[in-house]
Structure 1
Amino acid sequence: MTPPRLADRLLNWFCAPHLREEVLGDLHERYALRVAKYGETNARRRYWREVLAYVRPSMIKRTPSQYPTTFFLSPDMLRNYLKIALRNLVKNKVYSFINIGGLAVGMAVAMLIGLWVYDEISFDKSFPNYDRIAQVMQNQTFDGEVQTWSNVAMPLGPELRTTYGNNFTYVVRAGWIGDHLLSLGEKKLTKGGNYMEAEAPDMLSLTMLKGSLSGLQDINSILLSKSVAKAFFGNADPLNKIIRLDNKLDVKITGVYEDLPTNSSFANLSFIAPWELMVKSQGLEQILQNPWGASWFQTFAQVADKADMNTVSALIKHAKRNRVGKEGARNNPEIFLQPMRNWHLYSEFKNGITSGGRIQYVWLFGIIGLFVLLLACINFMNLSTARSEKRAKEVGIRKAVGSVRSQLVSQFFSESLLVVIIAFLLSLLLVQLILPVFNEVADKQMAILWETPAFWLIGVGFSLLTGLIAGSYPALYLSSFQPVKVLKGRFRVGRFAAVPRKLLVVVQFTVSVTLIIGTLIVFRQIQYAKNRPIGYNRSSLLTINAGDIRNHFQAFRDDLLETGAVLNVAESETQITNTYLTNSGLSWKGKDPAMQEEFVTLGVTQDFGKTVDWKIKEGRDFSTDFASDSSGVIVNEAAVNYMGMKQPIGETIKWGDKLVHVVGVVKNMVTQNPYDPIKQTFFYLRKGDLNTIILKINPNTPSSDAIGTIERVFKKYNSAIPFEYRFIDDEYAKKFGDEERIGKLASFFAVLAIFISCLGIFGLASFIAEQRTKEIGVRKVLGASVLNLWGLLSKDFVILVIIAFGIATPIAYYFLNNWLQKYDYRTELSWWIFAVSGAGALAITLLTVSFQSVKAALMNPVRSLRSE
């Protein structure tokens, strides 16, 4: 039986060298005798006692500086390691720049992505009841497809309070956050706000700076955010002051709350007015004769402390169906709770089930951040191992004079950690400089979390981990050299020593090529959707909010047309780029009685078609020459196909209690998401109470002059509110905002990934050129041309990039094909995109390598051969 190995190791560490063999021999002899006499257990116990007696302080002959570095690193040693590391950095300036620069860029990218991911996953977490707040939503089935709506019927809130009240702490009905005019004397501001029930401030746990959370009890009250209150009143007390809302409602300020964070679903909530004020001022109770049939509003809820969110969601499933008749239940309405934690990251639904959302981009950029950091670590490992032959003699001499492997490992790890610490500090500077631009591209307001301990803990831990990963291979590889072979000159790195470096270069360019392909596909998809035929001419179209002008629309229109700056003017219910109103309850000849129909509807005035220049396919446009057009509709091609009409002109459609007839068919118009199929739509004539005015500017009039003219006429009929306008082109472009933002971020990271990869390639090319200087000299003497030598030095890198391209292509195809599947209107994965990406990566590699290759090829061979 052998003695305890751990005890022997402890003795080896503490016992003086000249006593070690004698002490161990004596102990082992006594251990064998005790095993035979008393048994192994007693012998082992006695052995441990004797070992511990030997390692008493009086027996220790070494000073701390003499202990093996595996167990102890003295300050003197550490200082010496750092001094050597600094000397090596200064001596090899190019390689130091590549190592530190590459790591700094990689860490800066990882830090930027980390801040972006943190901002995304912390969305809405500023609300104390984040885990218990939900939005009440509904699923409805139309033509066999389940659609998910965030807008619900007005009576649903009271129904939840009455029937399921024990399961909720709060149930709050609300309108929609939108721009409203706030005015105080001559000062006017347009701010985002909402009408909400009185318990909204309690549910959202607003931080009240003035007044109280119960400030919405009075129907004529309003709560302002701190920034809005300061804009109107400065440092004066705003409480109980009267302010005008939308130029028609005088309300009293009953509270001021702290502005809500930008990474919040209520970031634009600059004021809250009572729900009852909206109902009364807009006459909703009279308009909504069938309130269960109109899903116009939002409802939020906070589940009770002891209630489970999923259980309550299942419980209220039929809350609407139980209150509507057979006709209303035809579309199978199902109510459910969407938790606040899912609002931002899991906002997409497919066939009634959550299908993802921004969470896919959180994962995407998180993975990109890790890969970019990996690229930087690969550079460090590649350059360190590539230069190992130059440090082989150093390692051999160190081992010959007594250094153990653990000391060499500590030396190389200290060098690695020094590089990482410098790179970390430099990355903080880079992030601070880049962050303003990055925020603009990402549409965020992020900042480095200087005062957050977790940030520094993660940063330092991240740096140590990076240093260990980046320095592990060089440290273990370099410290394994045999001193005898090195000092006798027989050391060779071997045929396969470069294989790991080549594999790492392949990994680098696989990542880079994948990012290039991904960026091209994202921008191609955006461009594909932008170039989609939209069915009308959005050039020179602008819109303004109708406001009080709706009461003088005809006079306003006539005055504008007289100026010549405007060719046509029309009104519509909504923006042409956002037709969100839908209707059901329609029937026509040949309709299947079981069909659950849904149409997008848009009320317009007669000149709407001429203003937007829609394309009439059959029939005619609306006209004042036909009195019957008051009951006429114009449908799009999708509606004709949806209803299965062979000859749609003149067909009669029953819409509720009235009959309408089709007077025209227009080509499909993109009025919603440009990536989705065109929905069945019909346009009908409507007078009064239209929210949007659309104007067609004369192309012969400069836009600035036309806008000035429109403003003057606007002020003539509505001087109380500011003149604000939007170009249809700009509104349409906003629909591509998320995709364009993701594309810009992806391209930003792709460029940095390529930059880091090229830094590594540059360093390796420089080393190889230096290593093969004498070979190049001999070849030049024997007649090799510069082109031959350039090809010789570039060949290996070209092969590696081609291999990387072969690996990246199927990976990129798989992931990008899956990404494109979420769009109904999508581009194709053309072969040329992959070819261009591969050719681009190859060209960048050749440019990077060529500098060193040509420089080495042009060198005077006499200088390179003189040392022989």
Structure 2
Amino acid sequence: MIKNYLKIAWRNLIKNKVHSFINIAGLSVGMAVVMLISLWIWDELSYNKYFTNYDRLVQVWQHQTFNGNVGSQTAMPIPLGLKLRESYKSDFKYVTLSTWTMEHIITYGDKKITRLGNYVQAELPGMLTLKMVKGTRDGLKDPSSIMINASLAKTLFGAADPIDKTLKIDNQWVVKVTGVYEDMPNNTQFKDVTFFAPWDLYMASMPWLKNAATRWGSNSWQIFAQLAPNADWQKVSAKIKDIKLINIAAQGDKLGADFKPVVFLHPMYKWHLYSEFKNGINTGGSIQFVWMFGIIGVFVLLLACINFMNLSTARSEKRAKEVGIRKAIGSQRVQLIWQFFMESMLIVAFAFILSIVLVMLALPWFNSVADKKMGILWSNPWFWLLGLLFSLVSGIIAGSYPALYLSSFKPIKVLKGTFKVGRLAAIPRKVLVVLQFTVSVTLIIGTIIVFRQIQFAKNRPIGYNRDGLIYVFEKTTDIHNHYAAFRDEIIKSGAALQTSESDSPVTGVWNNTSGFDWRGKPPGMLDDFAVVGITDDFGKTVGWQFKEGRDFSKALLTDSSGIIINEAAAKFMNFKSPIGEIITSNGRQYRVIGIIKDMLMSSPYEPVKQTFFYLDKNPVGVISIKMGPKSSPHESLEKIAAIYQKYAPAVPFDYKFADEEYSKKFDEETRIGKLSSFFAFLAIFISCLGLFGMATFMAEQRVKEIGVRKVLGASVFNLWRLLSTDFVILVIISFVIASPVAYYFMNGWLQGYTYRSEISWWIFGVSAAGAIVITLATVSFQAIKAALANPVKSLRSE
């Protein structure tokens, strides 16, 4: 019986090639989209599951209250980590301190490379259950050791055994390789970490850290922990919530206590998808994109299934006699239902095979856009099980309406020739077409709004000039110790117009400080300023713009106590005439000598923070260089590199373009926009396939009507309008439904940005016009072809 079903299904497939192609193409694209999205969701939901202790690992966070607003952060003080280790042993198996993941110079013989790494306490590799290639996870117990990943080991040593080889970190600290661990996957929090170095080495090598080790108000490090076997993270959070407040108050830090710090634990399974906090409440995070793309995938597949149902029911009259004859000779309705489901399953089987091919072709591009390293899970039994289940469900959904509808035809009416589908039979098809284009138009509107928000933020004034501006992170003091000579030489070479040093790059602020006082400051007001230490040529290098006052001058010794503020700072301090005002910090007075326009150094979607710029004799951190216009960037960089290597021969010349680093701030939104546009295009493609098939069927169904109209004098334009009007009306109805839906969801998405664009009326107008143009372009081929046909041929049988 099944063999017979398959044989008939195959014959119907071959007989109706266009119909079959549209169904298979639409379903395969829909299934490919769902497969890509499923791989992406799998990757997101399995984030950090590489670590065996995934469900027991936590990171220590804190809430701080600033003038009524609660902020949440991961930057923590050193003594908090030490206190948790000593006093809460029953709650934690391990507690480890860590620096942030930063670039460091790794030297082996003549090889000098820059890699990302952390200084951590010795237990972290064991907590993370690193998969060791060589050595053990206990390698960091030696304060002169280092653990490196397999890629770094191969780069430095090739095929040689790395264990006990000697390296140098930042040209200062000699360490011995005690372990090589497997590269961590791309979907882990530590994917970029190529080495771990001992925390004790970090503490011993920097004298100022001894003071920080006792200061509860110095928030500059990370704390990770592994819970004890029977500990619950929520109960432990409640137990330790006041630990910082108590100790910071005991230390006499009134300002720190005024921020009302609340310590809490954030479990690893929430790090990636649930790390967004607003006013002290966890509001989610990247999980919203998992839901969004999951819903898009379901709807795109639904569009493909709608095509199948529409085309199958539209061709019902052609299958009516077949159904009538089958019933007349004894076929039961259940047998006909099985026949139509078998046809559906055969189409789905071909579509599934084609969808895998499409996924293989699209995956490299999809990975680059989504910033992933995903692959098809060939060896995972769940992939095949879910793939088969997914195909089965798709086949049932796609074939259910045709099977139940076509099998219900009455054989007497069909064989007498009195059976007609009628007007009401077309209503379900029209409803499904409206649903298709509602989804498509919603995606189009959403995509336009996403890209408009990105462009809106990109067009925001940044307050400085990025053209030809590069910066280099100072990983050693080599350049700083010869800064004057280095500066003079690169300017004389013509490679640079200006250069300066600062303790933060122009595309970020690394230091925030509180405790300032000024005339008119309200009693009890908490302050928090971004603070940037610079040399006197910083403004000329980055091209900041003055609103009032002047720049720093080498000729004025009094500028050592001068300060330049931005517009946001003047507004925050409520200064009407800031020039000459005195600002006090830790007993030292600073005089405001200039006000600059707000420089957009942090997030382009948030307000510019109040910022102070002051002269610092030792702002080791960043060298900013404004390249000269007389040479090409390539030539200028070659000259700068040669001079740089002259003064820092052991340091790689690793530079960053300010405009490229600024563009990275839009990466997440750009990825969302590109993926949304990709899915919107495929949704439109699938919908248009359905329209094309429907237009083909309607042209065939009305061929005699068209012939009569032509004989009576109807023009090609009139006939084209006749066949196209119904589809345009359906698309307009879709637009009317899609507009409020898109507005509701996209307006909610925009509310997540402080600096955001408005949803303009023209977005909906463009979307409607685009949908109508696409519809007309799709159906016009068949409409015009039918209008141009010779009426003699269509009417000859009459």
Query: TM bucket by the smaller chain?
Result: over 0.9
Say yes or no: does 1:636 pair with 2:566.
yes
Indicate the residue corresponding to 1:152 in structure 2: 76
2:607 to 677, 700, 711: 677
Equivalent position SS for 2:141: coil
Contact 2:306/2:398 (8 A) holds in 1: yes
Q: How many residues align?
A: 792
2:65 maps to a residue whose letter is T
- Counterpart CA distance in 1 for 2:426 and 2:532 is 68
C-alpha RMSD of the superposition: 1.0
Say yes or no: does 1:774 pair with 2:704.
yes
Provide Cα deviations, 1:496-520, integer angstroms capped at 9, x if missing partner.
0000000000000000000000000
Indicate the residue corresponding to 1:354 in structure 2: 282
Say yes or no: does 1:833 pair with 2:777.
no
1:654 to 580, 584, 602: 584
Say yes or no: does 1:694 pair with 2:624.
yes
Provide Cα deviations, 1:642-693, integer angstroms capped at 9, x if missing partner.
1111221111111113111111111111110000011111111111242100
Indicate the residue corresponding to 2:5 in structure 1: 81
Indicate the residue corresponding to 1:312 in structure 2: 236
Indicate the residue corresponding to 2:773 in structure 1: 843
2:525 to 561, 573, 595: 595
Say yes or no: does 1:372 pair with 2:372.
no
Contact 2:145/2:197 (8 A) holds in 1: yes
1:607 to 531, 537, 542: 537
- Counterpart CA distance in 1 for 2:490 and 2:765 is 54
5 Å-filtered alignment, 1:212-227, equals 212-227=136-151
Equivalent position SS for 1:349: strand
1:153 maps to a residue whose letter is P
2:259 to 331, 336, 349: 331
- Counterpart CA distance in 1 for 2:510 and 2:306 is 51
Equivalent position SS for 1:293: coil
Indicate the residue corresponding to 1:790 in structure 2: 720
1:163 maps to a residue whose letter is S
5 Å-filtered alignment, 1:173-188, equals 173-188=97-112
- Counterpart CA distance in 2 for 1:737 and 1:777 is 57
Equivalent position SS for 2:728: helix
2:281 maps to a residue whose letter is I
- Shift of the alpha carbon at 1:174? 0.2
- Counterpart CA distance in 2 for 1:295 and 1:328 is 10
1:451 to 379, 396, 401: 379
Contact 1:160/1:319 (8 A) holds in 2: no
Indicate the residue corresponding to 1:481 in structure 2: 409
Provide Cα deviations, 1:717-746, integer angstroms capped at 9, x if missing partner.
011121111110000000000000010000
1:718 to 648, 651, 666: 648
- Structure 2: gaps of 5 or more residues: none
RCO comparison, higher one (Cα < 8 Å, 6+):
2
Tell me whether 334-343 or 727-736 shows the greater mean CA deviation.
Answer: 334-343
Say yes or no: does 1:524 pair with 2:452.
yes
Indicate the residue corresponding to 2:596 in structure 1: 666
- Shift of the alpha carbon at 1:407? 0.5
Contact 1:141/1:596 (8 A) holds in 2: no
Indicate the residue corresponding to 1:618 in structure 2: 548
- Counterpart CA distance in 2 for 1:261 and 1:565 is 41
1:798 maps to a residue whose letter is V
> Percent of aligned positions with the same letter in both sequences?
59
Indicate the residue corresponding to 1:742 in structure 2: 672
- Shift of the alpha carbon at 1:138? 1.1
Contact 2:6/2:343 (8 A) holds in 1: yes
- Counterpart CA distance in 2 for 1:565 and 1:340 is 48
- Counterpart CA distance in 2 for 1:280 and 1:769 is 83
1:101 to 4, 19, 25: 25
1:253 maps to a residue whose letter is V
- Shift of the alpha carbon at 1:270? 0.8
Say yes or no: does 1:395 pair with 2:323.
yes
- Shift of the alpha carbon at 1:583? 0.2
Larger radius of gyration: 1
- Shift of the alpha carbon at 1:163? 2.1
Contact 1:545/1:725 (8 A) holds in 2: yes
1:288 to 212, 217, 220: 212
Tell me whether 342-351 or 424-433 shows the greater mean CA deviation.
Answer: 342-351
Say yes or no: does 1:343 pair with 2:267.
no
Contact 2:340/2:403 (8 A) holds in 1: yes
Equivalent position SS for 2:90: helix
2:395 to 467, 471, 482: 467
Contact 2:139/2:147 (8 A) holds in 1: yes
Contact 1:383/1:763 (8 A) holds in 2: yes
- Shift of the alpha carbon at 1:209? 1.8
- Shift of the alpha carbon at 1:289? 8.1
Contact 1:243/1:251 (8 A) holds in 2: yes
Indicate the residue corresponding to 1:384 in structure 2: 312
- Counterpart CA distance in 2 for 1:657 and 1:294 is 19
- Shift of the alpha carbon at 1:700? 3.1
1:585 to 515, 528, 548: 515
- Counterpart CA distance in 1 for 2:27 and 2:498 is 60
- Counterpart CA distance in 2 for 1:126 and 1:307 is 22
Equivalent position SS for 1:532: coil
- Counterpart CA distance in 2 for 1:568 and 1:539 is 13
2:787 maps to a residue whose letter is A
Contact 1:583/1:601 (8 A) holds in 2: yes
2:741 maps to a residue whose letter is I
- Counterpart CA distance in 1 for 2:306 and 2:75 is 51
- Shift of the alpha carbon at 1:622? 0.7
Equivalent position SS for 1:735: helix
Provide Cα deviations, 1:824-868, integer angstroms capped at 9, x if missing partner.
000000000011011001100000000000000000111111122
Runs of 4+ that moved beyond 2 A? 282-291, 325-328
1:754 to 650, 663, 684: 684
Contact 1:144/1:596 (8 A) holds in 2: no
1:515 maps to a residue whose letter is L
Provide Cα deviations, 1:610-639, integer angstroms capped at 9, x if missing partner.
111111111111111211111111011111
1:775 maps to a residue whose letter is E
2:59 maps to a residue whose letter is Q
Say yes or no: does 1:170 pair with 2:100.
no
- Counterpart CA distance in 1 for 2:303 and 2:644 is 59
Contact 2:551/2:593 (8 A) holds in 1: yes
5 Å-filtered alignment, 1:43-82, equals 77-82=1-6
1:826 maps to a residue whose letter is R
Provide Cα deviations, 1:3-60, integer angstroms capped at 9, x if missing partner.
xxxxxxxxxxxxxxxxxxxxxxxxxxxxxxxxxxxxxxxxxxxxxxxxxxxxxxxxxx
Against the structure 1 CA distance between its residues 857 and 200, is the aligned structure 2 distance closer, same or farther, given a 3 Å change threshold? same
2:64 to 127, 130, 140: 140
Equivalent position SS for 1:152: coil
Indicate the residue corresponding to 1:39 in structure 2: none
Equivalent position SS for 2:221: strand
- Shift of the alpha carbon at 1:545? 1.8
1:262 to 186, 199, 206: 186
Indicate the residue corresponding to 1:729 in structure 2: 659
1:93 maps to a residue whose letter is K
Indicate the residue corresponding to 1:852 in structure 2: 782
Contact 1:761/1:849 (8 A) holds in 2: yes
- Counterpart CA distance in 2 for 1:105 and 1:90 is 21
- Shift of the alpha carbon at 1:290? 6.1
Indicate the residue corresponding to 2:365 in structure 1: 437
- Counterpart CA distance in 2 for 1:699 and 1:856 is 63
- Shift of the alpha carbon at 1:284? 3.3
Tell me whether 430-439 or 796-805 shows the greater mean CA deviation.
Answer: 430-439
1:95 maps to a residue whose letter is H
- Counterpart CA distance in 1 for 2:163 and 2:495 is 46
Provide Cα deviations, 1:172-223, integer angstroms capped at 9, x if missing partner.
0000111211111112222211100000111111112211111101111000
1:340 maps to a residue whose letter is M
- Counterpart CA distance in 2 for 1:283 and 1:790 is 83
Tell me whether 644-653 or 501-510 shows the greater mean CA deviation.
Answer: 644-653
2:768 maps to a residue whose letter is G
Indicate the residue corresponding to 1:125 in structure 2: 49
Provide Cα deviations, 1:244-294, integer angstroms capped at 9, x if missing partner.
111221100011111111100000111100011112222233563862221
